[in-house]
Amino acid sequence: MHPTDTDSLPRWWGQPWRFRSGLLVILLVSAALMVWNLAKGGDASFYEASARSMSESWHAMLFGAFDPAGTVTLDKLSGFAVPQALSIRLFGMSTSALALPQVVEGLITVWCCSVIGLRWAGPGAGLVAAAAAATTPIFVSMFAHPMEDGLVTMALTVALFFFQRALLTERLWPLLVAALFVGVGFQAKMMQAWFILPAFVVGSFLWTRGAWPRRLWRSTVVLATAVAASLVWVLVLQLTPAADRPYIDGSTSNNAFAMVFGYNGLDRLLPHAVPGAVGGSGGHTHAAPVFFAAPSDLSSAGASLTKLVDPLYVTQVGWLYPIAIAGIVFGLIRWWPRRGGAPSASFAMLGVVSAWLVTAALVLSVAHTPHTAYVAAIGTQIAVLAAVGWKQAVRMLRAPRRRTRLAVCGVLVVQAGWSVFLAIEGALPAILLVPAVAVCGACCVALAAHAWRTRPRASIASTRRNRLRLAAVPLLAAALILGGQAAFSLQVVDPARNGTGGDAYVGIKPVRSDPTPLSFRPAPPQLWGGSVTLSPKVSDLVNAARTAGGGADGRPDFITDSWAISAQVIDATGDSVLTDGGYSGTVPVFTESQLERMIATGADHLFVVKQNAPAADPVEQVVEHSSCTRLGSFSTGVIAVSPQSGAVELWDCS
């Protein structure tokens, strides 16, 4: 039966001190791993620039602008950057200030996993779920960097937290809060937040008690609320007159829906499916997914249908696959409704979490994966299912039948073998590999010995020796399950193995053009700092522009056709730099006539143009067709501008 009294809900603060102190330790260790190299947590300059711009202007924050003047948005909804912008306003611009909100999001995720596990399978499962989330490698790296994936992961975990409360209490308000957090996740990473919606809708319909109309009403409410909360910012962008807001990047028609559902949505599966969405750039030009990626081709791995078992990705999120799958099987055996009985809340949770996992895994398998943090979309589900698997395994290891105990022990041996395989496949340093293998091996031997022994008679089962042996079973099982991925995540104490804001990753990628040294070199914590500065070459360009009058009287430093140049200037200075082309370089932010009008009115007269810019480039056209003076050529070293040296030219068209 579903409890309807909220007082019957297990509260984390009402648990024994062992649970509370254990959860505190897990949160502290999780925080330590995430902040160890926080001052080195940047590198995604395009998104850093938006966070800096949003911190400079409330107008820029409202519309998610890339530049402080608010002329063009990011190429996605920028809800993920709002906490970053607020952090910069509070602490000033630094790499740590940018990354700090993600640490908070990570700790909330770990805490929510603990409470979900507690209410699902008891205090032990709550601690295992928290530890599983805290040591998932992609979480450890992703939550230490300024990335959009952190907020969507936290939002959907909180949504599951409230959905579970709705299942347990049968009240409507937790269901509405869960749907609202799906909307929060949408602002962070758009349609990825909807991975959880099918599970919520089906779960509300199938496992709400009462007549069909009541079930249909609840599933409709959760769907409508989630969609409405998701689209509110898109509607604000779209309904605001174009003259009063930035141009929508990711679209060729200044259309927010084309950017969200085309460029960042359906076009990832079916290129050019949505009219008005930018095509032919970045992750949107990849061919149909292939079944297997070539071992030496990282880009193919991102398009492979088997990417979730590819070494590039499985080492980041897949350590607990065996025990999570076992959790589903054990849960079905344990909670399957008996004839005539109503499904329990535990069975409903099993269905909801499993459906979310399957949905996310299927979409990730067929969609292109531009960077590793995408696989975090299955991290929460695996963590809580692994906790359920642990709980049921421990229960069955205490079963009276030896056959049952040995069968469960076999599952744990498979989990241990999988962990050792991933540790070797992921090139885990020997200093971490040897203890991890030793722990897995010792736990396997101890659990196998326990499973083989004849269960003591009731008359002697309460002896101290047997009590200790039985009490050790949960700890041994937890160490076996979590030891491998915990050792792997410890690599983040080496800054070279901590990933970046452009691609969160723990360890060394199997193949890369610029290989990280194989040696493991832990470094002291770098908790705060990381000032963003201009490179000497870009600094020369900015100084030349300012000498020519750029930035005077509230005008921008210059107008450019390369976000890679403007992002670096905005990151380091917060100055206004206008950018044409957007992230793809093909977005018509300005027309030639608009730029000519800006010259005529004195709004700006300096242009930085990429060498060998395409003929259709408006910035290139205005330089060619106006009376402009070439002030110099600069080799910026920004490879995103050109493959050679990032060569640009500075022109004065006053």
In a domain, 585, yes or no: yes
pLDDT computed for residue 579 by the predictor? 93
Average pLDDT over residues 592-601: 91
pLDDT computed for residue 288 by the predictor? 47
- Point out the least confidently predicted range of 108-112, 143-147, 295-299, 322-326: 295-299
pLDDT computed for residue 71 by the predictor? 94
Helix (H, G, I), strand (E, B) or coil at 368: coil
In a domain, 640, yes or no: yes
Average pLDDT over residues 367-380: 91
Tell me the average pLDDT of the chain.
88
pLDDT computed for residue 261 by the predictor? 93
Give the whole-angstrom CA distance, residue 232 versus residue 254: 17
Average pLDDT over residues 258-281: 80
Domain count, the chain: 1
Per-residue pLDDT for 370 more than 90? no
Summarised one tens digit per residue, pLDDT across range 174-201 is 999 999 999 999 999 999 999 999 999 9
pLDDT computed for residue 624 by the predictor? 86
**Chain position carrying tokens 């943090």:** 373
In a domain, 285, yes or no: no
In a domain, 596, yes or no: yes
- Point out the least confidently predicted range of 117-131, 449-463, 489-503, 513-527: 449-463
Average pLDDT over residues 113-131: 96
Helix (H, G, I), strand (E, B) or coil at 610: strand
pLDDT computed for residue 612 by the predictor? 76
pLDDT computed for residue 642 by the predictor? 57
pLDDT computed for residue 3 by the predictor? 43
∠ CA 41-47-53, nearest 5°, is 110
- Point out the least confidently predicted range of 57-66, 245-254, 297-306: 297-306
Average pLDDT over residues 79-95: 95
More confident residue, 647 or 419: 419
Helix (H, G, I), strand (E, B) or coil at 100: helix
Give the whole-angstrom CA distance, residue 67 versus residue 50: 6
Question: How far is residue 107 from each of residues 320, 341, 456, 480, measured CA to CA in Å?
Answer: 20, 38, 42, 24
pLDDT class for 152, splitting at 50, 70, 90?
Answer: very high
Range of the domain at 546: 536-652
Q: How far is CA 560 from the centre of its chain?
A: 31
Give the whole-angstrom CA distance, residue 267 versus residue 276: 11
pLDDT computed for residue 617 by the predictor? 85
Tokens of 642: 């050109």
pLDDT computed for residue 5 by the predictor? 41
Query: What is the identity of the amino acid at 174?
Result: P
Tokens of 76: 């996605």
Alpha-carbon torsion angle 385, 386, 392, 397, nearest 10:
170
Give the whole-angstrom CA distance, residue 41 versus residue 128: 28
In a domain, 607, yes or no: yes
* % of the chain surpassing 70 pLDDT: 90
Summarised one tens digit per residue, pLDDT across range 337-362 is 887 667 788 999 999 999 999 999 99
pLDDT computed for residue 431 by the predictor? 95
Per-residue pLDDT for 300 more than 60? no
pLDDT computed for residue 554 by the predictor? 82
* % of the chain surpassing 90 pLDDT: 66
Per-residue pLDDT for 514 more than 80? no
Summarised one tens digit per residue, pLDDT across range 162-174 is 999 999 998 999 9
pLDDT class for 639, splitting at 50, 70, 90?
Answer: low
In a domain, 617, yes or no: yes
Give the whole-angstrom CA distance, residue 36 versus residue 29: 10
Q: Read out DSSP for 156-167?
A: HHHHHHHHHHHH
Instruction: State pTM to two decimals.
Output: 0.92
What single DSSP character describes residue 278? -
Query: How many Cα atoms are found within 13 Å in the side-chain-facing hemisphere of 7?
Result: 0
Per-residue pLDDT for 37 more than 60? yes
Q: Which of 208-212, 282-286, 443-447 has the highest mean pLDDT?
A: 443-447
pLDDT computed for residue 41 by the predictor? 72
pLDDT computed for residue 460 by the predictor? 45
CA-based diameter of the chain, in Å?
Answer: 101
pLDDT computed for residue 269 by the predictor? 72
In a domain, 319, yes or no: no
- Point out the least confidently predicted range of 61-70, 220-229, 232-241, 264-273: 264-273
pLDDT computed for residue 616 by the predictor? 79
Average pLDDT over residues 279-293: 47
Give the whole-angstrom CA distance, residue 450 versus residue 397: 8
In a domain, 492, yes or no: no
